[in-house]
Amino acid sequence: MTTATAPAPTDTWPRRNEHGLSDQQRDECLAAIDRDSFVILPHLLPQDMIDRANAYIDECCARFDREERDHPRYHETNIVEHDPVFREFLLYLPALQLSYDVFGPMFHLGQDKWTRKFRVDEGKDPMSLTWHSDGPLGFPEVNGYAPLHTLRFGYFMSDTTHGDSGTLEVIRGSHRKRTLHAQQSIHWQPFSGHRADDFKTDHVTVQGPAGTIVAFHNGIWHRAQNNRSDIPRTIVYFQYCPCMLHPLHRDVPYPGDLSPYSAEERWLLGEPREPHRWVIGTDADKQRMRRFRRKAEK
């Protein structure tokens, strides 16, 4: 087993959330995802975003504590609306640049959630995640492996450089291996179980300080085990996917009032529109994410 560690922070952030990737960094990230199924981004998240997200999560956990004592793991989905800091995650520039690179202009938010795991000494955390991939459920493999249909960003809100933190573990390059939980041919068949050696090679424990950002392909085999350390392990996930795919937890079209949100946010949150505009899109639709295209295209 190896570990992948985050680079030392090299960047200053002139404007919150506006420090993007260069075209060369975008190429390097895409090449790493294509080769390894994941990449650790060259930037760390700004400290003030980490602090504000953790302050919100602290407050939630304190409230949940009163309701469900001794629960080792807490989480919330659909968090963009819960605190202004999560709107900054939604529009985090490097994530949207890479999503544009992968999907073009017609993508939206597929998942937004945070999870915090506390120490578990005995027994098993019932929500501990065993090896799985994020699909594609019900899609055939293409040329023997899973096509990329979601790009997921994991923002480390706590340090995971120590052992037993319950951090993310992955199988490097597994999007090019037999797809987990997806059909193997045009004839759908139920998943028939793992091979004994599926998880023995290319096993990487993703470690890093708070602020580390990992991006990964839906086809990656991954898991997160119990936290056996005293440092609560907290992660925020934002995932993006083509507009024609339904988000994991959210209602789309958006059922509420989108007027407080910008044009970009409304698009990512699933602004109501005619059915064909979820799949094909008009010229005006394709402008919504244009800010995230490469310099060379501008």
| Alpha-carbon distances of 252 from 15, 73, 90, 108, 121, rounded to whole Å | 31, 28, 16, 10, 40
Count of C-beta atoms within a 10 Å radius of residue 71 = 14
85 or 224: CB nearest ligand AKG: 224
The reply on whether position 96 binds ligand AKG by CB under 6 A is no
Please identify which residue in 222, 243, 245, 289 interacts with ligand AKG, judged by CB under 6 A: 222
Residues 151-180 that bind ligand AKG (CB under 6 A): 154, 168
| Alpha-carbon distances of 152 from 99, 132, 231, rounded to whole Å | 9, 14, 24
32 or 129: CB nearest ligand AKG: 129
CB of 24 to ligand AKG, least distance (A): 28
Q: Is the dihedral of CA 180, 78, 48, 294 positive or negative?
A: positive
CB of 152 to ligand AKG, least distance (A): 8
- Name the packing angle between helices 93-103 and 23-36 (round to 10°): 70
154 or 247: CB nearest ligand AKG: 154
Please identify which residue in 54, 115, 179, 218 interacts with ligand AKG, judged by CB under 6 A: 115
d(CA 188, CA 249): 25
Q: List Cβ neighbours of 140 (8 Å cut-off, separation of 6 or more).
A: 182, 183, 184, 185, 186
Residue 153 per-residue DSSP state: E
91 or 235: CB nearest ligand AKG: 235
CB of 33 to ligand AKG, least distance (A): 17
Q: Which residue is nearest to ligand AKG (CB)?
A: 224
106 or 235: CB nearest ligand AKG: 235
The reply on whether position 236 binds ligand AKG by CB under 6 A is no
* DSSP H or E run through 26: helix 23-36
The reply on whether position 40 binds ligand AKG by CB under 6 A is no
248 or 258: CB nearest ligand AKG: 248
CB of 129 to ligand AKG, least distance (A): 4
Q: How many residues of this chain bind ligand AKG (CB under 6 A)?
A: 7
The reply on whether position 248 binds ligand AKG by CB under 6 A is no
209 or 294: CB nearest ligand AKG: 209
d(CA 124, CA 226): 7
Please identify which residue in 93, 127, 129, 231 interacts with ligand AKG, judged by CB under 6 A: 129
Please identify which residue in 106, 235, 243, 245 interacts with ligand AKG, judged by CB under 6 A: 235
Which residues would be at the binding site for ligand AKG (CB under 6 A)? Answer: 115, 129, 154, 168, 222, 224, 235
